[in-house]
């Protein structure tokens, strides 16, 4: 079938818009787009604030990491994206094709182009934040570190090309929303299909990457590994949304003539994709907050009946009760327990420089700055592992 570059033909095979738009917009699927665009940023902002509360007031972080700045900027981008999507519903998004006229069609494609730029920025933000966090947690492993760098390069590369394609896909640029003027446009069907496939592939890789490291940890119990897997692989949610959006977008481009109406569903999912991706980047850093809440619940309910069991559940940032501990494991100072500095990826052992077989004391995988996230619960493993156990356990680097 011959491709017609005029964007007006993408919405109607005849290119004739004789319909009458509804008196009140948004309408049809545009109403659901508007509701999602208004509600989701509040939910995401709540998780972003929890992330920074954990970093500032619980972990007492002295400085922010690069992924903290990326999350903050991505939050602003996601708000802008949602606002623009809400405005687009007043310019025809989600209506049936027979409800369009020529003027409304031009406004619709103009706002599609604008929102698509912020959509790509939002995707780039949360994907980069997750990958940088993985590097800080497990960057001591050279292969894993370079895999993360390669994935990061792939994500930034295809999303940058996506933005350029969206902005420069027609010559002149205004032909995108004024298809009647002379000029040419790229095959938007092929471009959208390709970038959608790249998005799904990158989301799947990002979700699987931490699993390859978590299940190599010799110092963690099966329960801890399952918990870490659930926390760090919540990116599967974004992948599932990306798959659904790609399927609807593909059907919208090649399987129906009522494309604006189906686009309303697709763009609703795009809001969910950006917002849930950013939520996943925040949830992965909330382990200290969750452990603190659990310790308070145990204190209030008296759930733990034995002091030794209660000690093992104390998070590293909470003052622990006095109990006997072997020297070289932890240090007691001023009534508080300090974490041992035997770490890989910390200041004592640069990332990527370790023996092939290292002892337990050298496999407390943490961030490059003494476990910036306290996600791996290093101090908890220290608190109930004897020196004899440490001398026998090892992990491949």
Asked whether residue 264 falls in the same domain as residue 191, the answer is yes
180: its two tokens: 């009647």
Is 303 part of any domain? no
Asked whether residue 32 falls in the same domain as residue 133, the answer is yes
Is 180 part of any domain? yes
User: Helix or strand or coil: residue 345?
Assistant: coil
Instruction: Identify the domain containing residue 81 by its residue range.
Output: 18-285
Q: Is 371 exposed, middle or buried (0-12, 13-18, 19+ CB in 10 A)?
A: buried
How many angstroms separate the Cα of 360 from the Cα of each of 117, 350, 392?
47, 17, 8
Asked whether residue 41 falls in the same domain as residue 152, the answer is yes
| Per-residue model confidence as pLDDT tens for the chain (397 residues) | 444 444 344 444 444 556 778 888 898 899 999 999 999 999 999 999 999 999 888 888 878 889 999 999 999 999 999 999 999 999 989 888 888 888 888 899 899 999 999 999 999 999 999 999 999 888 888 899 999 999 999 999 999 999 999 888 898 988 888 888 898 988 888 888 899 999 999 999 999 998 888 888 776 677 778 878 888 878 888 899 999 988 888 777 676 778 888 888 999 999 999 999 999 999 888 888 888 888 878 778 776 544 434 333 333 333 333 434 444 444 444 433 333 333 333 333 333 333 433 333 333 443 333 446 665 554 343 333 333 343 444 444 3
Asked whether residue 87 falls in the same domain as residue 189, the answer is yes
Give CA angle at 122 (46, 205), nearest 5°: 100
Is 366 part of any domain? yes
How many angstroms separate the Cα of 350 from the Cα of each of 139, 140, 345?
10, 8, 5
Asked whether residue 272 falls in the same domain as residue 364, the answer is no
Is 305 part of any domain? no
Is 196 part of any domain? yes
CATH of residue 258's domain is 1.20.1070
Asked whether residue 269 falls in the same domain as residue 346, the answer is no
User: Helix or strand or coil: residue 126?
Assistant: helix
Is 388 part of any domain? yes
Asked whether residue 389 falls in the same domain as residue 344, the answer is yes
Q: Distance between CA 345 and CA 115 in Å, rounded? A: 40
Asked whether residue 275 falls in the same domain as residue 320, the answer is no
Is 1 part of any domain? no
Distance between alpha carbon 218 and the CA centroid of its chain, in Å? 27
Asked whether residue 209 falls in the same domain as residue 349, the answer is no
Asked whether residue 66 falls in the same domain as residue 108, the answer is yes
Residue with tokens 């002149």: 172
Is 304 part of any domain? no
Asked whether residue 264 falls in the same domain as residue 344, the answer is no
Number of independent structural domains in the chain: 2
Asked whether residue 235 falls in the same domain as residue 381, the answer is no
317: its two tokens: 């940032």
């Amino acid at each position: 079938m011959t491709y017609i570059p005029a964007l007006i033909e993408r919405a109607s095979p005849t290119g004739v818009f004789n319909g009458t738009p509804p008196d009140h917009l948004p309408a049809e699927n545009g109403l659901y787009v508007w509701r999602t665009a208004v509600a989701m940023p509040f939910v995401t902002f709540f998780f972003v604030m929890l992330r920074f509360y954990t970093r500032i007031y619980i972990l007492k972080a002295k400085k922010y990491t690069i992924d903290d700045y990326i999350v903050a900027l991505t939050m602003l981008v996601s708000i802008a994206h949602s606002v623009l999507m809400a405005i687009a519903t007043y310019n025809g998004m989600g209506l049936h094709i027979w409800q369009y006229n020529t003027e409304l069609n031009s406004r619709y494609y103009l706002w599609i182009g604008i929102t698509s730029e912020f959509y790509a920025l939002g995707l780039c933000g949360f994907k980069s934040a997750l990958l940088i966090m993985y590097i800080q947690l497990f960057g001591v492993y050279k292969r894993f570190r370079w895999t993360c760098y390669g994935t990061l390069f792939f994500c930034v590369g295809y999303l940058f090309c996506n933005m350029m394609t969206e902005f420069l896909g027609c010559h002149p640029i205004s032909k995108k929303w004024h298809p009647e003027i002379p000029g040419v446009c790229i095959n938007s069907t092929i471009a959208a299909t390709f970038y959608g496939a790249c998005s799904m592939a990158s989301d799947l890789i990002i979700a699987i990457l931490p699993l390859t490291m978590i299940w190599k940890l010799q110092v963690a119990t099966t329960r801890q590994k399952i918990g870490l897997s659930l926390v760090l692989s919540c990116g599967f949610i974004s992948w599932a949304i990306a798959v659904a959006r790609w399927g609807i977008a593909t059907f919208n481009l090649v399987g129906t003539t009522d494309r604006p109406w189906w686009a309303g569903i697709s763009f609703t999912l795009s809001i969910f994709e950006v917002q849930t991706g950013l939520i996943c980047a925040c949830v992965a850093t909330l382990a200290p907050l969750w452990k603190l809440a659990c310790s308070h619940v145990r204190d209030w309910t008296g759930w733990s009946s034995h002091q030794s069991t209660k000690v093992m559940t104390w998070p590293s940032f909470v003052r622990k009760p006095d109990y006997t501990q072997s020297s070289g494991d932890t240090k007691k100072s001023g009534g508080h327990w300090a974490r041992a500095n035997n770490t890989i990826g910390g200041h004592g052992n640069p990332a990527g420089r370790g023996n092939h077989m290292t002892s337990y004391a050298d496999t407390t995988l943490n961030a490059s700055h003494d476990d910036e996230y306290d996600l791996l619960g290093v101090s908890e493993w220290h608190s109930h592992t004897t020196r004899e156990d440490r001398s026998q356990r090892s992990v491949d680097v």
